[in-house]
């Protein structure tokens, strides 16, 4: 009896495997025209079989949704710039931890290797400002000398990085990760000898301005494989293969790394998925911090009960507690995985270092911005092109972009402003002016920072709090982490696969 069951299971597996093999070998056809995809005899229009987005290095998937954005607990500073408002955030990816000193030193090493000889200003532009640790009335010189460079601080969050430098790091990371994806797919060979303008940049590669060291050739793209090759002379096949180039629609490359928007950062920090009843779409409890409860200590009865949940300043002169009973075991930033992650698996979304976001600061963003993916800071651009339509590149071999003028948008319905940073708050139509340095510290270069740092009180541990700093300034209390757009389904491409109305 047992033998018969085993034989039945084996037969079932063989049938399933056969069916699966047949389905895989069957050519995809257009549901619009009936023409075959990925077949040179039918024109060779390429459609990748895999459509799901890969998760980039260091990232965690954050499933989007609706939440109440803003300070929903108390406003002890009476700034009234975080009024509660219900918004929706699309799914996205976010770094599991803050970017570390080690990550940034890797970035500096690459810049030095590629640009130091021909473009030393590129390296100087990226250098961390280690002098952010200095104070007239404190002895912090050891941190100036050692915090960024000593291996003991490898896994500590990088500080002394401006908003501009954080964006440059994200762009560099996008290029390195996408270059790695092409190497893994066998399209490019690893080329450690890149120097000057001869280096991989995603946009330049897609625009044909960078060739690199081609490894297996473009026939890896699935147009001519095995028995599917057309009945052509060999030289014609090779010629056809050479005309096949990689495009973003092949799904091999990832979207760019970038800073998270303020809404994304706050949504990810709250991690309401941890106390949400999915069936009822209801939130069972309001969260003050990125964890349940109203205390900064672990409240559940187990071996962790009473443990501090984040690295912050408990009170004046108390950065880490008493010797023998250090409350958070960190007088400055701690290692990036020191404390419990939140329900999305993200570390230090409260405490350790405050973090740069993509947004330009305005006090009334919560009133003015859309309720779907709210964001202030859009500067809409388009690629510069020559008369023949080809792209223009700068001295580093990167595609150049220009601001879209308002005149180009006259006939558009969805937006009219190319420069939308001060839209409804600072432009001529709004009637609001900001006298930076005279009547206010707010300008179009003021960027939102979120979260408490190692030197902040518990109030700033609440994700709804917000502050700002000039985009070209840096601080010993501010670091950053990267995010990435999620393309396709927000939850995994499974919803709606079968209609409930079909019998």
Average pLDDT (492-502) is 47
If phi > 0 it is left, if psi is from -120 to 50 it is alpha, else beta; for residue 70 that is left
Rounded to an integer, the average pLDDT of 132-159 is 97
List, for residues 211-258, the tens digit of each pLDDT value: 777 665 445 444 444 444 444 444 444 444 444 567 888 888 999 999
Domain positions in the chain are 59-212+254-376+450-485
The pLDDT mean for the chain works out to 84
Q: What's the pTM value of the predicted model, to 2 decimals? A: 0.87
pLDDT of residue 276: 56
Is pLDDT larger for residue 302 or for residue 193? 193
Q: Is the pLDDT of residue 267 over 60?
A: yes
| pLDDT at residue 117 tops 80 | yes
pLDDT digits (tens, 9 = 90+) for 165-191: 999 999 999 999 999 999 988 888 888
pLDDT tops 70 at residue 500: no
Average the pLDDT over each of 137-141, 242-246, 470-474 and give the range with the smallest value: 242-246
Please tell me the predicted confidence (pLDDT) of residue 26. Answer: 54
Pairing of strands 381-383, 325-326: unpaired
Q: Dihedral sign, CA of 139, 141, 147, 150?
A: negative
Three-class secondary structure of residue 449 per DSSP: strand
Q: How many CA atoms lie within 13 A of 150 on its CB side?
A: 8
* 8 A C-beta contact, residue 167 and residue 198: no
Report pLDDT digits (tens) over 334-386.
999 998 899 999 999 999 999 999 999 999 998 999 999 999 999 999 999 99
pLDDT at 502: 44
pLDDT band at 302 (very low <50, low <70, confident <90, very high): low
Q: Is the pLDDT of residue 494 over 80?
A: no
Residues 37-57: tens digit of each pLDDT: 888 888 878 788 778 888 999
58: left (phi over 0), alpha (psi -120 to 50) or beta: left
**59-212+254-376+450-485: CATH, from 1.10.510.10, 3.40.50.2020, 3.90.1580.10, 3.40.50.300:** 3.90.1580.10
DSSP symbols for 285-337 = S--SSSSSSSSSB--SSSTTTT-B-S----BTTBSSEETTEESSS-SSPPPTT
Q: What's the pLDDT at 233? A: 44
* Range of lowest pLDDT (121-130, 374-383, 399-408, 493-502): 493-502
CB 331 within 8 A of CB 314: no
Residue 501 clears pLDDT 90, i.e. is over it: no
Q: pLDDT value at position 3?
A: 53
Q: Kindly state the average pLDDT of the residues 407-416.
A: 92
- Percentage of residues of the chain with pLDDT beyond 90: 52
Question: With 60 as the cut, is the pLDDT of residue 108 above it?
Answer: yes
Note whether 46 and 40 are within 8 A (CB).
no
Arithmetic mean of pLDDT, 19-30: 58
Question: How would you classify residue 22: left for phi > 0, otherwise alpha for psi between -120 and 50, otherwise beta?
Answer: alpha
pLDDT tens figures, 66-79:
999 997 677 777 77
Q: Which residue has better confidence, 50 or 153?
A: 153
CA neighbor of 447 nearest in space, from 371, 377, 352: 377
The least confident of 41-50, 149-158, 177-186, 296-305 is: 296-305
> pLDDT per residue over 378-398, tens digit each?
999 999 999 998 999 998 989
> Binning pLDDT at 50, 70 and 90, where does residue 452 land?
very high
* Cα 185 from Cα 401, distance rounded (Å): 30
Over the stretch 428-441, which tens digit does the pLDDT of each residue have? Answer: 888 888 888 888 88
Q: How confident is the model at residue 290 (pLDDT cuts 50, 70, 90)?
A: confident
pLDDT of residue 259: 98
């Amino acid at each position: 009896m047992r033998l018969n069951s085993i034989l039945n299971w084996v037969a079932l597996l063989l049938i399933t495997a056969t069916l699966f093999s047949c389905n895989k070998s069957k050519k995809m056809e257009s549901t619009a025209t009936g023409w075959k995809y990925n077949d040179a005899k039918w024109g060779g229009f390429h459609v990748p079989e895999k459509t799901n987005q890969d998760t980039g290095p260091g990232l965690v998937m954050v499933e989007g949704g609706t939440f109440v954005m803003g300070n929903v607990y108390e406003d002890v500073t009476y700034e009234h710039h975080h009024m509660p408002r219900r918004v929706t955030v699309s799914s996205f990816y976010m770094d599991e931890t803050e970017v570390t000193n080690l990550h940034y030193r890797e970035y500096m090493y690459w810049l030095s290797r590629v640009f130091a000889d021909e473009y030393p200003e590129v390296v100087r532009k990226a250098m961390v400002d280690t002098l952010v640790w200095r104070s007239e009335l404190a002895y912090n010189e050891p941190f100036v000398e050692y915090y960024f460079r000593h291996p003991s601080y490898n896994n500590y969050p990088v500080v002394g990085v401006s908003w501009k430098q954080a964006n440059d790091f994200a762009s560099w990371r996008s290029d390195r990760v996408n270059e790695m994806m092409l190497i893994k797919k066998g399209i490019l060979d690893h080329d450690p000898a890149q120097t000057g303008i001869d280096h991989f940049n995603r946009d330049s590669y897609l625009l044909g301005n960078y060739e690199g060291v081609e490894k297996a050739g473009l026939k890896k793209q699935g147009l001519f494989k095995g028995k599917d090759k057309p009945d052509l002379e060999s030289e014609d096949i090779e010629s056809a293969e050479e005309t096949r180039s990689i495009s973003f629609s092949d799904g091999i490359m990832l979207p760019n790394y970038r800073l998270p928007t303020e809404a994304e950062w706050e949504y990810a920090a709250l991690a309401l998925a941890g106390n949400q009843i999915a069936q009822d779409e209801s939130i069972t409890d309001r969260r003050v911090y990125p964890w349940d409860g109203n205390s900064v200590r672990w409240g559940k009865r187990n071996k962790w009960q009473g443990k501090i949940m984040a690295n912050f300043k408990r009170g004046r002169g108390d950065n880490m507690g008493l010797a023998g009973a250090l409350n958070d075991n960190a007088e400055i930033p701690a290692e990036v995985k020191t404390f419990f992650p939140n329900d999305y698996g993200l570390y230090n979304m409260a405490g350790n270092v405050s973090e740069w976001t993509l947004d330009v600061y305005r006090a009334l963003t919560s009133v003015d911005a859309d309720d779907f993916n709210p964001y202030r800071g859009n500067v809409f651009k388009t690629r510069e092109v020559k008369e023949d339509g080809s792209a223009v590149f700068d001295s580093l071999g990167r595609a150049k972009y220009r601001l879209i003028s308002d005149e180009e948008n006259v006939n558009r319905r969805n937006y009219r402003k190319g420069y939308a940073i001060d839209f409804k708050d600072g432009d001529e139509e709004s009637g609001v002016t900001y006298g930076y340095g005279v009547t206010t510290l707010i300008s179009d270069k003021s960027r939102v920072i979120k979260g408490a740092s190692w030197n902040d009180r518990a109030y700033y541990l609440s994700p709804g709090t917000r502050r700002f700093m000039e985009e070209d300034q840096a601080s010993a209390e501010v670091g950053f982490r990267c995010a990435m757009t999620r393309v396709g389904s927000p939850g995994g491409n499974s919803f709606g696969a079968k209609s409930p109305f079909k019998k």
